[in-house]
């Protein structure tokens, strides 16, 4: 029945396309700033398709519709697209072409493709434009036909912007600006536009609430050789922000006038802008003005990825507190919660309440994933208040959660295993644990990227001919987005994205898993801090230190499936967990923790 709603919306979209003499429509999961997570106003793809995942591209043609998404969402997307008439395109699977390849194969001479130029990245938009030109087809990148059919569209956000207290600022704004300006000059540019929201929040030491769980405000920044303009919404400006801007020679400007003001850039200007974060329309308008654009990653992205000493100090404090909260929750679930058959939603609400009960936790960092049994096979499962499954003692329970604290952003996953687990389940759980620990304990040469390290986490599973259809790890922000680049741990390069070397001060998640549709999902996730390890004649070496200290469920461990090195790594980690957490526990909790971290 729900599918009919979305098939009807697709037909209404085609009617709007006909009015514009167009055949095709493309929308991605994005806002004008290339954000991964977006607010309700920009969820056009979700409105048209019903698919609620955080990554997906929808292409609508004269006689079909297709949605591309990655392995995190295959199971979820298949369910949510049912009855819509939209074909699921599983990225990376055999026989599934890339979006751009599909467009090239299907679009005919004389066809017209529409997209909203503010909501498509310049990198993708340029590629589509070139394909259409080669095919003798045409591009319309102006008005969005969805505007005429989404009648109850949520309003855009303009929440108040706050300034970080001095004790939480990793570095002063002037030092950050100087580092960014240095990179601008190295690229031979005289100006720079920043569209990505978290980069701007980091640069100015400010935070917002325009996107759920992401402490960012809608903004654009223009940096020239002698000025800095911050374009924000008038409603979002506070007296505190005005005073701060005046103190630091930041010129506030109206967000809604930004596209009009870029006409100030003229021929001869050389401007640095990230084509993966900037919109197609923005860079197209600049090109028409004769501006020479250097498309490189925003310097602030690389700078903010390396946390300062003060940030690391705050992050360690926050992760210890967060680890204690999750450990207490897991204790309750093992002793009582699973026996009481709590619903997935009830368990999530309990954990959320525990986190948000801390004075310095002001939000979650994402919707808590609370998944029992087969639901755990959906990597980004969202337990609804109505109809969520019961958590049963004889099934897997996976919880992936995190908080936004005054001093850090957390993300951690643990999976609880029934006492009577099958041999297969215990083998899979043990191998996931082995992969997580192998990466956590890695020592590696400075200069390597996450792509060099990914095999460490996957090898124990590859030996079983099992793979998880996602990356192993992502960067984590500092009171910012829970997913942060440019560092990551993944097996393949990302098209059009320059890889980043692991650098001391970077955070990265370590989260291998096993996902068997219809049966169960397993994920064990720690957050790691990259640190120096030592230097000798062979080079400079780095390693990781865990920030997460939460027990791994020993009911799922098959000691016979470990080698001696893996066994020692688990025992060493559990000894550290006990040492870190026990000073903050009562006697009953200490006894439970000692058992949960016993030697295997």
Give me the domain span that covers residue 83: 2-148
pLDDT of 495 strictly over 80:
no
Q: Cα–Cα distance between 67 and 362 in angstroms, integer?
A: 35
Contacts of 46 (CB under 8 A, 6+ apart): 52
The answer on 393 and 537 residing in a single domain is yes
The answer on 417 and 313 residing in a single domain is yes
In a domain, 322, yes or no: yes
In a domain, 154, yes or no: no
* Least-confidence region, from 73-87, 405-419, 514-528, 541-555: 73-87
What's the whole-number mean pLDDT along residues 295-299? 95
Give, as one character, the DSSP assignment of residue 154: P
Q: Cα–Cα distance between 17 and 262 in angstroms, integer?
A: 30
What's the whole-number mean pLDDT along residues 41-55? 93
Q: Cα–Cα distance between 322 and 355 in angstroms, integer?
A: 7
Q: Cα–Cα distance between 552 and 523 in angstroms, integer?
A: 11
The C-alpha torsion from 529 through 534 and 538 to 540, rounded to 10°, is 50
- Whether the ω angle into residue 201 lies within 30 degrees of 0, i.e. cis, is no
The answer on 521 and 377 residing in a single domain is yes
In a domain, 155, yes or no: no
The answer on 196 and 118 residing in a single domain is no
The CATH number of the domain holding residue 210 is 3.40.350.10
Domain end, chosen from 95, 126, 148, is at: 148
What's the whole-number mean pLDDT along residues 452-481? 96
pLDDT tens digits along 212-245: 999 999 999 999 999 999 999 999 999 999 999 9
* Secondary structure of residue 279 in the 3-state scheme: strand
- Residue 447 has phi, psi (to 5 degrees) of 110, -15
pLDDT tens digits along 512-532: 999 999 999 999 999 999 999
The answer on 192 and 68 residing in a single domain is no
In a domain, 492, yes or no: yes
The band of 400, judged by pLDDT with boundaries at 50, 70 and 90, is very high
pLDDT tens digits along 121-178: 999 999 999 999 999 999 999 889 999 999 999 999 999 999 999 999 999 999 999 9
pLDDT of 445 strictly over 80:
yes
Number of domains in the chain: 3
The CATH number of the domain holding residue 505 is 3.90.230.10
In a domain, 579, yes or no: yes
Contacts of 305 (CB under 8 A, 6+ apart): 475, 484, 485, 486, 487, 500, 503, 505, 506
Cβ(22)–Cβ(140) below 8 Å: yes
Q: Which residues face 398 on adjacent strands?
A: 371, 415
Counting residues of the chain whose pLDDT is more than 90, the rounded percentage is 91
Cβ(77)–Cβ(57) below 8 Å: no
Q: Please tell me the predicted confidence (pLDDT) of residue 497.
A: 78
Q: DSSP strand E in 285-417: where?
A: 292-294, 361-364, 369-372, 397-401, 403-405, 408-409, 412-416
The answer on 342 and 236 residing in a single domain is no
Q: Please tell me the predicted confidence (pLDDT) of residue 1.
A: 42
What's the whole-number mean pLDDT along residues 88-104? 93
Q: Cα–Cα distance between 458 and 463 in angstroms, integer?
A: 9
Closest CA to 66 of 52, 47, 55, 81: 81
The answer on 313 and 279 residing in a single domain is no
What's the whole-number mean pLDDT along residues 283-312? 96
- Residue 299 has phi, psi (to 5 degrees) of -55, -35
pLDDT of 536 strictly over 70:
yes
The mean predicted confidence, pLDDT, of the chain is 95
What's the whole-number mean pLDDT along residues 403-428? 97
Domain end, chosen from 302, 327, 345, is at: 302
Q: Which residues face 510 on adjacent strands?
A: 526
Contacts of 66 (CB under 8 A, 6+ apart): 58, 59, 86, 87, 88, 89, 102
The answer on 315 and 287 residing in a single domain is no
The band of 367, judged by pLDDT with boundaries at 50, 70 and 90, is very high
The answer on 442 and 337 residing in a single domain is yes
In a domain, 157, yes or no: no
Q: Please tell me the predicted confidence (pLDDT) of residue 4.
A: 81
Closest CA to 216 of 54, 408, 41, 39: 39
Q: Please tell me the predicted confidence (pLDDT) of residue 72.
A: 83
The answer on 208 and 86 residing in a single domain is no
Cβ(405)–Cβ(359) below 8 Å: no
What's the whole-number mean pLDDT along residues 179-202? 97
The answer on 254 and 216 residing in a single domain is yes
In a domain, 153, yes or no: no
């Amino acid at each position: 029945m729900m599918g009919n709603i979305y098939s009807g919306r697709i037909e209404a979209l085609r009617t709007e396309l006909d009015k514009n003499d167009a055949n095709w429509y493309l929308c991605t999961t994005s806002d004008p700033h290339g954000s991964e997570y977006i607010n309700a106003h920009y969820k056009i793809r979700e409105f048209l398709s019903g698919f609620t995942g955080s990554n997906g591209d929808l292409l609508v043609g004269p006689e079909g519709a297709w949605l591309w998404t990655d392995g995190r969402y295959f199971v979820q997307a298949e369910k949510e697209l049912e009855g819509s008439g939209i074909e699921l395109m599983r990225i990376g699977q055999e026989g599934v072409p890339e979006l751009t390849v599909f467009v090239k194969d299907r679009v005919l001479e004389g066809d017209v493709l529409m997209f909203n130029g503010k909501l498509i990245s310049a990198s993708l938009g340029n590629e589509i434009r070139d394909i259409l030109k080669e095919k003798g087809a045409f591009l319309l990148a102006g008005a969005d036909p969805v505007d005429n059919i989404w009648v109850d569209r949520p309003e855009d956000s303009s929440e108040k912007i706050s300034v970080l207290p001095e004790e939480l600022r990793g570095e002063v704004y002037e030092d950050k600006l100087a580092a960014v300006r240095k990179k601008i000059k190295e690229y031979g540019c005289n100006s720079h536009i920043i569209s990505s929201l978290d980069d701007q929040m980091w640069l100015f030491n400010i935070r917002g609430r325009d996107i759920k769980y992401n402490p960012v405000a809608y903004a654009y920044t223009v940096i020239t050789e002698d000025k800095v303009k911050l374009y924000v919404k008038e409603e979002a400006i506070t007296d505190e922000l005005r005073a701060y801007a005046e103190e630091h020679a930041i010129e506030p400007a109206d967000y809604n006038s930004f596209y009009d003001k870029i006409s100030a850039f003229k021929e001869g200007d050389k401007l640095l802008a990230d084509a993966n974060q900037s919109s197609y329309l923005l860079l197209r308008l600049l090109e028409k003005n004769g501006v020479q654009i250097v498309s490189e990653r925003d310097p602030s992205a690389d700078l903010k990825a390396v946390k300062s000493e003060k940030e690391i100090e705050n992050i360690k404090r926050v992760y210890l507190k967060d680890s204690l909260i999750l450990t207490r929750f897991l204790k309750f679930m093992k002793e009582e919660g699973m026996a009481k058959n709590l619903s997935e939603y009830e368990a999530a609400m309990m954990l959320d309440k525990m986190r948000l009960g801390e004075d310095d936790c002001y939000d979650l960092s994402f919707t808590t994933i609370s998944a029992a049994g087969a639901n755990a096979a959906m990597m980004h499962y969202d337990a609804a208040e109505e109809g969520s499954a019961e958590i049963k003692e004889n099934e897997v329970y996976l919880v992936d959660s995190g908080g936004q604290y005054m001093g850090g952003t957390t993300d951690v996953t643990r999976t609880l295993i029934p006492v009577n687990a099958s041999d297969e389940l215990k083998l899979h759980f043990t191998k996931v644990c082995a992969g997580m620990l192998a990466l956590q304990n890695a020592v590696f040469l400075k200069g390597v990227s996450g792509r060099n390290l990914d095999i460490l986490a996957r090898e124990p599973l590859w030996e079983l001919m099992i793979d998880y259809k996602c990356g192993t790890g992502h960067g984590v922000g500092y009171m910012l987005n829970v997913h942060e680049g440019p560092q990551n741990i993944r097996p393949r390069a990302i098209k059009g994205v320059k890889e980043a070397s692991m650098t001391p001060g970077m955070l990265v998640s370590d989260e291998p898993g096993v996902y068997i549709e219809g049966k169960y999902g397993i994920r064990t996730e720690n957050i790691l801090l990259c640190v120096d390890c030592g230097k000798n004649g062979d080079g400079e070496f780095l390693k990781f230190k865990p920030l997460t200290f939460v027990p791994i469920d020993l009911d799922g461990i098959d000691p016979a499936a470990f080698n001696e090195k893996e066994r020692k790594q688990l025992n060493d980690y559990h000894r550290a967990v006990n040492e870190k957490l026990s000073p903050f526990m009562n006697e009953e909790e200490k006894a439970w923790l000692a058992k949960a971290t016993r030697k295997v």
